[in-house]
A and B are shown apart, each in its own frame.
Chain A
Amino acid sequence: QPVLTQPPSVSAAPGHEVAISCSGSNSNIGNNYVSWYQQLPGAAPRVLIYDNNHRPSGIPDRFSGSKSGTSATLGITGLQTGDEADYYCGTWDTSLSGVVFGGGTKLTVL
């Protein structure tokens, strides 16, 4: 059972926007930074967001991250069929002294 909770799946139409949630506790999200990862089918993961809301170079500004209390959200605007992938949140857990991930959310662009 993953430490961080994500919805198993979300869907939206092309051109629309979607928000993927990630829920934790004070030992992880509440007191640490959150990262978000995209994993396209058959590919390695890639980081979309780190330090809660920082986009690495090359990541479009359609992707954004936010955090409030013990929850975090990945926002994706202007959805494209190429955005269909699994999305994971991750953070440090102070009680576990390690990195924890969410179970992943499968995004379908209808």
Chain B
Amino acid sequence: QLQLVESGGGVVQSGTSLRLSCVASGFSFSTNGMHWVRQAPGKGLEWVAVIRNDGNSKDYAESVKGRFTISRDNSKNTLYLQMNSLRVEDTGVYYCARNPSRIDIASADFRGQGTLVIVSS
């Protein structure tokens, strides 16, 4: 059964750092691109970053570029998001998602419950 388990969220002060993890199971992790998508309280979905299956190609939303780093360890079936210089506006639930398509890197298959990040001023 395909599963993604996010962890690492918490309450932190602005300007500090946090690292999120996402452990995958039930599919061939090393053959899928992976996303981080976040959702501020009461707001819509906001894409954060994507990493291709080999880990060599990454893209970021403008709002996090230079502060966040997406990475993966295919030997551990784990996706990471290193978040530095956190801002209040980074508050929200962070979901990892698998890219299910062979032809479109943008699609996202959410299989976890997310992890909540709260950044206080």
CB within 8 Å of B: which residues of A? 2, 32-33, 35, 37, 39, 44-47, 50-51, 54, 56, 86, 88, 90-92, 96-104
Contact = CB atoms under 8 A, between A and B. Distances in A.
B104 A51 contact: yes
B106 interface: yes
26 contacts: A33-B103, A33-B106, A35-B107, A37-B45, A44-B95, A44-B110, A44-B113, A45-B45, A45-B95, A47-B100, A47-B107, A47-B108, A51-B104, A54-B101, A56-B109, A88-B44, A88-B45, A90-B47, A90-B106, A92-B106, A96-B62, A98-B50, A98-B62, A99-B106, A101-B47, A102-B44
Contact of A32 (B37, B46, B95, B104): B104
A44 B112 contact: yes
A90 B46 CA distance: 10
B61 interface: yes
A39 B104 CA distance: 21
A45 B110 contact: yes
A96 B62 CA distance: 8
A98 B59 contact: yes
A56 to B, nearest CB: 6
Given A45-B37, A51-B104, A96-B62, 4 more contacts: A33-B107, A44-B112, A47-B109, A99-B50
Contacts, number: 79
Nearest to A99: B47
A88 B113 CA distance: 17
Contacts of A99: 35, 37, 47, 50, 106, 108
Contacts of B114: 44
B110 A101 contact: no
Contacts of B45: 37, 39, 45, 88, 90, 101, 104
A101 B46 contact: yes
